[in-house]
Amino acid sequence: MNRYGRLLASGFVAVLAGLGLSSSQALAQNYPTRNITMIVPFAAGGPTDVIARIVTGHMAQTLGQTIIIENVVGAGGTTATTRAAKAANDGYTLITGHMGTHAASVPLYPKLAYHPEKDFEPVGLLAGTPILILARKDLPPKDLKEFIAYVKANETKVNAAHAGIGSVSNVSCELLNSVLGVKPIGVPFNGTGPAMNALVAGQVDYMCDQIVNAVPQINGGTIKAYAVATPERNPSLPNVPTTAEAGLPAFQAQAWNAIFAPKGTPPDVIAKLNAAIVKALEDETVRKRLIELGSVIPAPADRTPAALGTLVKSEIAKWTPVVKPVN
């Protein structure tokens, strides 16, 4: 900055001080004045991408600025999350993370380049996403009991698609595999959007995926669903039994997707973003779309940044004894 620039900047700071505002408060007061980038750590068309697009579409109206979705894939979502952790903490780069990127990845990757609690500000929970056990439509087993017997008998031949080590699909199928005592072959993709395409095409055998990605395919008859891993059936799939009903009560799994900002993002910016999330989650069109896809809309008490912070802490504690480190 030249002498003139320095003078201008010091004059600006003096004006702010005269108004009783710090520069971060001033930033927050006008925020947002330009486009916001929302990093999605998986391929377009998958559950995180779909949820992010539904909610940020409404948030953009509230905030009066475009929210540009940028899909940054790789390493089970941790490549994008590392990038988001290092982004400027000014509210213009955010990430839609989930149970994998912001919880299970911690015990899974001992050398993880970020920590969900130390490097991020929680902004708000978007949706809970029950996990389903899915298979290509011509996999022989008719129901979950037959599927369990089939996977046990064909352990070295069957394969399970997932979205990379540490993704929800990977971690939840690892949980399923440990309940069943099997180690099938894992087939990684850049997200369960492309993994679902492979399942529909019959190129992979089965997958544990978030419901949002599966409802249209199950209803269209292009894949089969053996069970939903939650205590209750999901209203979007009334004919799909719970794992308890289908004979495997030990397998329970529900993921979540949420928005995070880099650590140090001004509290007033976080508050504006959170208010926009809350408004989106109260909008009838947004709610209808999320519910049609089987996701669970967070209760009002679960929509605050503090509630998301508590969820992240408890989810890291939950997954730490369950997942084994990969390096």
Q: CB of 37: closest distance to ligand MLT in angstroms?
A: 17
Residue from 56, 89, 105, 167 binding ligand MLT (CB under 6 A) = 167
User: Pattern 230-269, binding to ligand MLT, x per CB under 6 A?
Assistant: ----------------------------------------
Which strand (E) or helix (H) includes residue 319?
helix 305-319
Decide if 268 contacts 91 (C-beta within 8 A).
Answer: no
Torsions phi, psi for 319 (to 5 deg): -85, -20
Q: CB of 53: closest distance to ligand MLT in angstroms?
A: 11
Torsion over CA: 22, 26, 29, 32 (sign): negative
- Residue closest to ligand MLT when measured from CB atoms: 46
Nearest to 70 by CA among 46, 30, 40, 114: 40
Peptide bond before 32: cis, by omega within 30 degrees of 0?
yes
Residue from 100, 122, 130, 262 binding ligand MLT (CB under 6 A) = 100
Decide if 258 contacts 267 (C-beta within 8 A).
Answer: no
Nearest to 188 by CA among 170, 210, 215: 170
Question: What's the token pair of residue 82?
Answer: 């590392």
Alpha carbons 79 and 81: distance in angstroms, whole number: 6
**Interface positions, 29-58, toward ligand MLT (CB under 6 A):** 42-43, 46-49
Only segment of 188-196, 243-251, 274-282, 297-305 that touches ligand MLT (CB under 6 A): 188-196
Decide if 226 contacts 141 (C-beta within 8 A).
Answer: yes
Only segment of 16-24, 189-197, 235-243, 261-269 that touches ligand MLT (CB under 6 A): 189-197
Number of chain residues interacting with ligand MLT (CB under 6 A): 16
Residue from 60, 75, 90, 98 binding ligand MLT (CB under 6 A) = 98
Q: Which is nearer to ligand MLT, 98 or 272 (CB)?
A: 98
Residue from 78, 82, 93, 169 binding ligand MLT (CB under 6 A) = 169
Contact residues: ligand MLT, CB under 6 A: 42-43, 46-49, 98, 100, 163, 167-169, 191-193, 210
